[in-house]
Structure 1
Amino acid sequence: MATVRLPLNRYVQLARMKRASYKLAFRRNETVTEIAMDAGYGAPDAFARAFRQRLGQRPSAFRKAPDWERWWITFEPLHTARNRCMQTTYQSSDVTIRSVPSTRVAILQHQGSPSNIGATVQRFIAWRQSTGLIPPISPTFNIFHSDPRTTPPGEFRLDLCAGTDQPIEPNDVPIIDSNIPAGRCAVLKVVGSADNLEQAALYLYSEWLPASGEEPRDFPLYCQRITFFPDVPESEAITELFLPLI
């Protein structure tokens, strides 16, 4: 990790703290003590001090109202190290062409800085739990409308989607009833962290597509989350990336 100036011990600490923060924010079935033990701390107080030092909040306060901008800044070195040092090499045999059926989805749109996606995810998870549309009963998709590298933060847009065949009941969450259209798609399986799918997306667009003779369809790149962090270790998370084709 020296190439990105992140010592190995700090990398491990950040990885464990990230898993703990995800459990605090998105999983309510574990106590702070259980999360502390999973993160390698023998006592909740030691975990609370380390957590506050990194994220500026005690674990209980983060669970109630996370400071997502501070979270983004805290874990940026971890994400940078992974993007630079853990590159995956894709090849054409990794891509399959699949005929995808039309999928009705409930969408919660995230509009604004990527650093605040966590708050939108929390709202979406709470809504899914209230309606029973939870994995694996309901498949999970993301539709990518913007490239965070080239889009001003205020204009960034990402759709969080849950597959459903149920009518969307009125509620205080701005859920949109929509669908992912049927059609042919190039599908690339990504194993590992799904925080940044840029490398896989670039391979599809810049290498696979020109060599394939295929043409993209007028629908954004999207993905289906097959297995989730922190339900599984980040290295075991599985995401399928879909490039719609004519």
Structure 2
Amino acid sequence: MRNDARLFILQPAREKSLSKSCYQTRMLRVLQYIDTHLDEDLTLDCLSEVAAFSKFHFHRQFSEYFGVAAFRYVQLLKLRKAMYELAFRHHKQVINIALDNGYESSEAFSRAFKKSLGLSPAQFRKQPQWDNWQNSNLTINHWREQYMPMTYQNSDVRFVNFPETRIAVLEHRGAPGLLPNSILRFITWRKLNKLPPSVSATFNLIYDDPEQTPAADFRFDLAAAVTAPVAENEYGIVNKIIPAGECAVLRHTGSDAQLAGAVRFLYSSWLPQSQRSLRDFPLFFQRISIFPDVPEHQMVTDIFLSLQE
């Protein structure tokens, strides 16, 4: 077969591949736009313009591609932000949370909230119940991990000499889905002891992979830097130390749903190529900026691997 004839036969497949790639890029652009404009009025007209698709077909295209309606996706993201503000930011009034998340009134917010969770915002604030939300939350995390993966290079990893750091720790033991209850307990203790993140660095010690560990066996430490030992207390806060030593650090900017990809990169790609060995201390995070104080796409987390000298 002549080369030019063979090229002619292959050309349609190549054009199809390019078209698919372009389509995917335009769809992902919509997700990124939603993340960065979540506090705005995200109409179908607006989102179809971002995707450069006809507004008459965009809602069907979005639903077919992501498996959820665009309106529902936006609603779930706003609802998650509202839930975290209700549970963890008690200084914010319910009406302000409603308006900040695009609801026209507290009544409209209450109807939408109760329809999704079976509780009014006031009831949820008084006694947060996360069980009804877990399936929706897992779905959001799946979308982010599948369609918005982060990419890293070895040059993104830096080395630091981490100083010995005394930490006050609440040990979460049990299902990852119950972690918000432990976070709320820990925040309450920090407030009582005047240790907000602005004056006391926030850490997490990660012992287990939630995807590989039975829910009942999952271990995760919530920690805050302190200058003196913590006395025995009713909150179950205990004393631990992050030891001094050299660490490899990767900075992740984005939601927690994408953290797993960053951790996988460190263990499966960077570590074997670095030819370094790890100390007997768990992976740990330092939370530089935290949701819902900042939008999810602006969260900053430093991931540390403790290295042998």
TM-score by structure 2 length?
0.78
The counterpart of 1:67, out of the listed 129, 132, 153, is: 129
Deviation at 1:74, TM superposition (A): 2.6
| Partner Cα separation in structure 2 for residue 92 and residue 195 of structure 1 | 21
The answer to whether residue 156 in structure 2 is matched with residue 94 in structure 1 is: yes
The counterpart of 1:27, out of the listed 89, 95, 113, is: 89
| Partner Cα separation in structure 1 for residue 182 and residue 206 of structure 2 | 15
What runs of 5+ residues in structure 1 fail to find an aligned partner?
Answer: none
The answer to whether residue 200 in structure 2 is matched with residue 138 in structure 1 is: yes
Deviation at 1:3, TM superposition (A): 4.0
Between structures 1 and 2, the one with greater strand share: 1
Range moving further from structure 2, 192-201 or 44-53? 192-201
Pick the structure with greater CA Rg: 2
Question: 1:136-195: per-residue Cα shift (whole Å, max 9, x none)?
Answer: 100000000111011110000100000000331332111111110111111000001124
The answer to whether residue 228 in structure 2 is matched with residue 228 in structure 1 is: no
The counterpart of 2:143, out of the listed 67, 81, 99, is: 81
Deviation at 1:79, TM superposition (A): 1.1
- Verify the 8 A CA contact 1:54 1:74 in the aligned structure 2: no
* Corresponding residue for residue 119 of structure 2: 57
| Partner Cα separation in structure 2 for residue 3 and residue 227 of structure 1 | 32
What runs of 5+ residues in structure 2 fail to find an aligned partner?
Answer: 1-61
Deviation at 1:213, TM superposition (A): 1.1
| Partner Cα separation in structure 1 for residue 223 and residue 233 of structure 2 | 16
* Corresponding residue for residue 248 of structure 2: 186
- Verify the 8 A CA contact 1:6 1:77 in the aligned structure 2: no
| Partner Cα separation in structure 1 for residue 145 and residue 71 of structure 2 | 18
Deviation at 1:224, TM superposition (A): 0.3
* Corresponding residue for residue 165 of structure 1: 227
- Verify the 8 A CA contact 1:55 1:74 in the aligned structure 2: no
* Corresponding residue for residue 73 of structure 2: 11
| Partner Cα separation in structure 2 for residue 196 and residue 219 of structure 1 | 23
Query: Share of identical aligned residues, percent?
Result: 43
Between structures 1 and 2, the one with greater helix share: 2
Deviation at 1:73, TM superposition (A): 2.1
- What one-letter code is carried by the residue in structure 1 that aligns with 2:243? P
Higher RCO (Cα < 8 Å, 6 or more apart): 1
| Partner Cα separation in structure 1 for residue 108 and residue 263 of structure 2 | 40
Range moving further from structure 2, 142-151 or 163-172? 163-172
- Verify the 8 A CA contact 2:173 2:217 in the aligned structure 1: yes
Deviation at 1:53, TM superposition (A): 1.2
| Partner Cα separation in structure 1 for residue 211 and residue 291 of structure 2 | 24
| Partner Cα separation in structure 1 for residue 68 and residue 305 of structure 2 | 34
- What one-letter code is carried by the residue in structure 2 that aligns with 1:240? D
The counterpart of 2:190, out of the listed 121, 128, 141, is: 128
| Partner Cα separation in structure 2 for residue 95 and residue 171 of structure 1 | 38
Q: Which aligned segments of 4 or more residues in structure 1 are displaced greater than 3 angstroms?
A: 1-4
- What one-letter code is carried by the residue in structure 2 that aligns with 1:67? Q
| Partner Cα separation in structure 2 for residue 122 and residue 145 of structure 1 | 20
Q: CA RMSD in A?
A: 1.1
